Amino acid sequence: MKKFKKLVMLLAVVGLIVAYMQSSESTKRYLKHIGKQVPSLPYRYFI
């Protein structure tokens, strides 16, 4: 069961990477932009 969970997780991560690689340059820029903001969210949430 543990191995199965790990496999599912791995497949999900690989799937996300493949989806990212196949997305348009514009979508990549959007995801990068959002990704850059994520570390600030805990601070933003409390201000």
Partner 1 sequence: MADYDVIVIGAGLGGLSTGALVSKEGFKTLVLEQSDIIGGCCSTFEANGYKFDVGASIVEVIQPLDRLFEMLGGRREDYMELIPCDPIYSFITDDGKRFSYPTDIGACTEVVKEIAPGDVEGWNSFCSMGLSMIEDMMDAVMLSPMNTFSEAMKVALKNPQIIKFAPTFLRSHQGVVRSFYKDPLMLQSVAFQSYFAGAPPELGSGIFGYIALSEHLGIYYPKGGMIGIPAGISKAGEEYGMEVRTGVKVEKLLIENGTAFGVRLEDGDEITAKIVVSNLNGQVTYLKLVGPDRLPDWAVKGIASYTNSMPCPMIYVGLDKKPELEAHHTIVTSSLESMNDVWNNYYKLNLIPETAMSLVCWPTEADPSLAPEGKHILNFLCNAPAPYAPIGDNWDRLKGWYKEAAVKELETYVLPDVRDHIEYIEVSTPLDFERRLLHPQGGIYGLFSDITSLAMFRPRSRSKAIRNLYLTGSSTHLGGGVPTTIASGIVTSKYIMKDHG
Residues making contact with partner 1 (CB under 8 A): 26-27, 29-30, 33-34, 37-38, 40-41, 43-47
Single-letter amino acid code for the residue at 20: Y
Q: Smallest gap, in angstroms, from Cβ of residue 34 to partner 1?
A: 6
Q: Smallest gap, in angstroms, from Cβ of residue 29 to partner 1?
A: 6
For partner 1, the closer CB: 3 or 44? 44
Q: Smallest gap, in angstroms, from Cβ of residue 35 to partner 1?
A: 10
Give me the DSSP letters along the chain: -HHHHHHHHHHHHHHHHHHHHHS-HHHHHHHHHHHHHGGGHHHHHH-
